[in-house]
Amino acid sequence: MYVDLSIPISRRAPGVEFEQWLHRDGIRHLSRRIRALPGDSRTDRRRNYWRWLTGARRLRVRDLPDGCFLSNEFYRMSVHQGTHVDAPFHYGPECAGRPAKKVLDLPLEWFRGPGVVLDVRECGGRVTARDVKEALRAAGSEVGPGTVVLFRTDSDLRLGTPAYYTESTAVTPEAVDHLLDLGVKVLGTDCWSFDGPARAMVESFYGTGDPAALWPTHIHGRKREFIQIEGLARLRDLPPGGAFTFMAFPVALADAGAAWCRAVADVVQEP
């Protein structure tokens, strides 16, 4: 049984610009675009453009079945919108003294493996190494190389409200280090970020003057290599002790420090 762990990207979400061509709009757009086609020579382009201007190379409603062409959609948004994979390059230009990996540098096998859900809902908004150890004991799970560890906070239940951003749970660098020491490479959360509410971090910085208050877990990725998957959903629908395979392959974006993904769990059903 497959469980969809991804958040749909809404065209009405903050930071998303959306344009859609419906089927009857498509005729007009196609008619403009066939003025020049891939493989046309310069002479072809001049000739066809003139034919288009004079109306000899324009499509009309009667030229296509049902008067319809194909739909098309255009999204303009950050690669951190919705459920997405953070590559080490997002954290900084270098990781452990070497150039940080971008999305296309990441081995695909990292994004498919046995999954473990850690229930950290009672951690008071801040997950420590001790919390991770206790959650592992409670789940009865052992983790190691190839395991994908997912932090359940149920923050996705607040999706669409300001609380999704202001009441999220931070996973601390020490919590990450404990899992990295066990061989884990890929971590996920159902919060918008591994670093908790942005407002809280910024206010802490201005209150203390300590730069360590600002996105500490992300910046920790400059010291040790790990992958974050943020914006997951429905982790409560997964067996807490494991018994599922996690998959979340990032979209192949060149030169990017993050990419959208479709996160899915293949859950083993009891006979």
Q: Tell me, what's the pLDDT at 70?
A: 87
Phi then psi dihedrals of residue 232, to 5 deg:
-75, 170
Report the distance separating Cα 175 and Cα 216, nearest Å.
12
- CB 111: neighbour CB atoms within 10 A? 20
Q: Which two tokens stand for residue 258?
A: 């993050």
230 CB contacts (<8 Å, ≥6 apart)?
80, 83, 84, 86, 188, 189, 191, 192, 193, 194
Residues 106/227, Cβ–Cβ less than 8 Å:
yes
Termini Cα distance of the chain: 12
Residue with structure tokens 């319809």? 68
- Geometric angle at alpha carbon 248, from 242 and 252, rounded to 5°: 165
- Residue 204, judged by CB atoms within 10 A of its CB (0-12, 13-18, 19+), counts as middle
Residue 271 has pLDDT above 70, yes or no: no
Q: Tell me, what's the pLDDT at 270?
A: 64
Across the range 3-31, mean pLDDT stands at: 88
Residues 87/103, Cβ–Cβ less than 8 Å:
yes
> By mean pLDDT, which of 52-66, 80-94, 152-166, 215-229 is the weakest?
52-66
Q: Which contiguous run of DSSP H or E holds residue 265?
A: strand 264-267
Strand order in the sheet with 2-4: 2-4, 264-267, 244-247, 112-119, 148-152, 186-189, 227-230, 84-86, 258-260
pTM (two decimals):
0.89
Residues 8/270, Cβ–Cβ less than 8 Å:
no
- Residue 233, judged by CB atoms within 10 A of its CB (0-12, 13-18, 19+), counts as buried
Across the range 124-130, mean pLDDT stands at: 95
Across the range 111-138, mean pLDDT stands at: 95
Residue 84 has pLDDT above 80, yes or no: yes
Q: Tell me, what's the pLDDT at 35?
A: 74
Query: 190, 33, 182, 82: which is closest to 127 by C-alpha?
Result: 190
Report the distance separating Cα 27 and Cα 62, nearest Å.
10
